[in-house]
A and B are shown apart, each in its own frame.
Chain A
Amino acid sequence: MTPLLEVRDLKKHFPIHKGVFSRISGQVYAVDGVSFHIDRGETLGLVGESGCGKSTVGRTLLKLLEPTEGKILVNGADITALDAAQMLPYRRQMQMIYQDPYASLNPRMSAGDIVGEPLIIHRVAAAKERRERVAQLFDRVGLRPELVNAFPHEFSGGQRQRIGIARALALNPELIVGDEPVSALDVSIQAQIINLLMDLQAELKLSYLFVAHDLAVVEHISDRVAVMYLGRIVETTDKTSLFEMPLHPYTEALLSAVPIPRASARARKRVILTGDVPSPINPPPGCHFHARCPYVMARCRHEVPALREVKPRHWAACHLHDNGVTFPLAKPAGA
């Protein structure tokens, strides 16, 4: 069956302009060859640290940014080259929820108008019908109906995120891209929003691309997880395998760096990485992770490891598995 969304070798490079003539002096390789798919009703978590390109992936596949290279297929149809007008029917199927509920709502529109606006743009409902639909959406996301006339500043952070969710749901989309939708919220509110997203998914058969830096949240929400590092996916598999058997050294380090809230957490052994994430302007040659990798070998410094299915349904981009799966991760003898 064709997946709901398929992304093939997607690249998004941003030119760096310099000087009075804005001559292009370099490129930021924000997304540098990313492939994945999302099935109907499924949640794919896209996790990575700041600057790894995960948000750019979300924006590019919705064509809020023009892809530099690669293909985006929705229900098998190639939308990569479509212009804004041609995109309109696809926009109904794919919506976005943003991280910052303060910046993503127009402060001069009432909450009801914000939620109803997509219905106007896509001309799907007349005024009366629209009011009914907005009321229904408010109810569905847990906002009191009388709040339709209130303005964004009158809402708390959690409520604003509910407005953003209602707006995304207005057109009955199939896919919702959430770009760090809970990271700006306090933990008790975060739980409310995560539960809401899960309920909506079960009820409306939604598919999610959940982009976030918090691995615990991503593991909770997702069916499958893709780990990004400096513009590339380094590992992807179902969430349990990712946790039980991380096959990329970066995933291993990321998992071990996540603090776990339980009594005996202090005794946990962990991998602490040295150094920072390198710049996507001049990414290192070979494997992007080699400078921080505890298992680095000679070939990692010049040869880019491909994302391969190293064991059934488990993809990793790491030379450690060139001659069969190595787990626990370890340098081969003599390397």
Chain B
Amino acid sequence: MPSAPALLEIDNLRTHFFTSAGVVRAVDGVSYGVRSGETLGVVGESGCGKSVTALSILRLIADPPGRIVDGTIRFAGTNLLDLSESEIEDIRGNDISMIFQEPMTSLNPLLTVGRQISEAIALHRGLSRRDALDQAVEMLRRVHIPEPERRAHAYPHQLSGGMRQRVMIAMAVSCDPKVLIADEPTTALDVTIQAQILDLMRELQDRLGTAIILITHDMGVVAENADRVVVMYAGRKVEEASARELFEFPGHPYTKGLLGSIPNLEVAAHVNARRARLTEIKGMVPSLADLPQGCTFAPRCSFATEECRAAYPPLLEHRPGHWVSCWHAEHLLQGEA
């Protein structure tokens, strides 16, 4: 791995939810870091813990039922978990900010978008309301919203989905954050709009050197935008590698399965689907309140052996910078599978 120290580093994070159905181990010992100017992709299916990890970083987990029970989250040397509520508020939206999937539910429908953006600016920069509003218009211009002066007075429902997501980004980057957490930022958008938004995020990153954590279920989005990738399954990190390495040499059966299960446009255009089948990952994601013994992926894995059902495999560096948590990773990486 390159030597620059991580700007944000999560170590052995455990976020559990204490429900009437039992303890849900949504995040169970996850570690990853992201450096300035780098995009870290975090992938996995619904319920794998990718969003809960992100919410834990900003301490946005509702308690009860959720609680961060173990681990550290270091940002520029400070453990965010040690901070008081008012100290973390200074960091939220300022040093570390977040973009959510559904802009309609994360924007306040009763306030104009200019007002919402300027609120964060006024709060963190101590500007007057008027100056903050001018700054908000500038931010809207930066995210390429046409007629920003006029749009600043619009309410969220008057904007299209793509525009609302731009507003969210304008808000998130209004205080020049050092870390931007984007949780499925384009999932609700059409693909041509998705391309615009991802392009915009790259542009902002190039200018500000922002570290981006890009959380998504879309392997294509990761391939085209991430430098490094973390794959999560059932609350744990099962693989980490550079994007290039991961797509060329997936080392975990789950990663392999994910890559095989999505139609690839270039391939799809040339095959007869009645014959060329997609790889299925049989079964479904296990309940986090009732995880199987040993490797949590073993019940769905075609490579599973007795060993897998007995003990959870350690996360080991099988190739330089390429970490896999699988008893059979060596075989998979050698292409014997």
Q: Does B215 contact A (CB under 8 A)?
A: no
What is the total number of residues of chain A having a CB less than 8 Å from a CB of chain B?
Answer: 53
With a cutoff of 8 Å between Cβ atoms, the chain B residues found around residue A158 in the complex are 284
Q: A187-B45, A191-B279 are in contact. Are A261 and B199 (CB under 8 A)?
A: no
Is A93 among interface residues, defined by CB-CB distance under 8 A?
no
Most interface-central of B194, B244, B260, B274 (chain A CB within 10 A):
B274
Is there contact, CB below 8 Å, between B261 and A216?
no
Interface of B is mostly: helix
Listed stretches B67-75, B77-85, B221-229; interface member: B221-229
B110 interfacial by beta-carbon distance below 8 Å: no
Are A255 and B265 CB-contacts (below 8 A) given A49-B190, A261-B223? yes
Map CB proximity to B onto A291-329 as digits: 1 under 8 Å, 0 otherwise. Answer: 000000000000000000000000000000000000000
Establish whether residues A219 and B269, one from each chain, have CB atoms under 8 Å apart when the complex forms: yes
Contact B265 A187 (CB under 8 A): no
Choose from A219, A266, A277 the contact partner of B263 (Cβ within 8 Å).
A219
Instruction: Give the chain A neighbours of B264 by CB distance below 8 A.
Output: 216, 260-262
Q: Which candidate, A59-67, A94-102, A194-202, is the interface stretch facing chain B?
A: A194-202
Interface string of A38-72 (1 = CB under 8 A from B): 00000100000110000000000000000000000
Nearest CB on A from B16, distance (A): 23
- The answer to whether residues A215 and B193 also contact, given A220-B273, A261-B223, A272-B199 and a CB cut-off of 8 A, is no
B45 touches A260 (CB 8 A): no
Binary interface profile of A, 197-228, with partner B (CB < 8 Å = 1, else 0)? 01001100000000001111101111000000
The 8 Å CB contact of B45, one of A188, A242, A258, is A188
User: In chain B between 161 and 202, which residues have their CB closer than 8 angstroms to a CB of chain A?
Assistant: 161-163, 190-196, 199
How many angstroms between the C-alpha atoms of A308 and B196 in the bound complex? 31
Whether the pair B271, A220 counts as a contact (CB closer than 8 A) is: yes
* A residues in contact with B220, CB < 8 Å: 216, 258-261, 265
In the complex, residue of chain A having the shortest beta-carbon distance to the beta carbon of B270: A240
* Contacting pair B263 A276 (CB below 8 A): no
B244 pairs with A187, CB closer than 8 A: no
Cα separation A257 to B193 with both chains bound (whole Å)? 9
A189 within 8 A of B: yes
* Cβ-neighbour of A257 out of B146, B195, B243, B261 (below 8 A): B195
With A216-B262, A261-B223, A270-B195 known as contacts, the answer to whether A186 contacts B45 (CB < 8 A) is yes
Tell me if B221 and A259 are in contact (CB < 8 A).
yes
A104 within 8 A of B: no
Closest A residue to B281 by CB, please name it. Answer: A188
Contact between chains at B192 and A49 (CB < 8 Å): yes
Chain B residues in 8 Å Cβ range of A186: 45-46, 217, 285
| Residues 29 to 53 of chain B near chain A (Cβ within 8 Å) | 45-46
Question: Is A254's CB within 8 Å of the partner chain B?
Answer: yes
Chain A interface residues (CB < 8 Å from chain B): 43, 49-50, 156, 158, 186-192, 194-195, 198, 201-202, 213-217, 219-222, 239-240, 242-244, 253-266, 268, 270, 272-277
- Residues of B whose CB lies within 8 Å of any CB of A are 45-46, 146, 160-163, 190-196, 199, 217-225, 243-245, 247-248, 257-266, 268-271, 273-274, 277-282, 284-285
Q: Apart from A202-B274, A257-B192, list 4 A-B contacts with CB within 8 A.
A: A191-B260, A243-B269, A253-B192, A259-B218
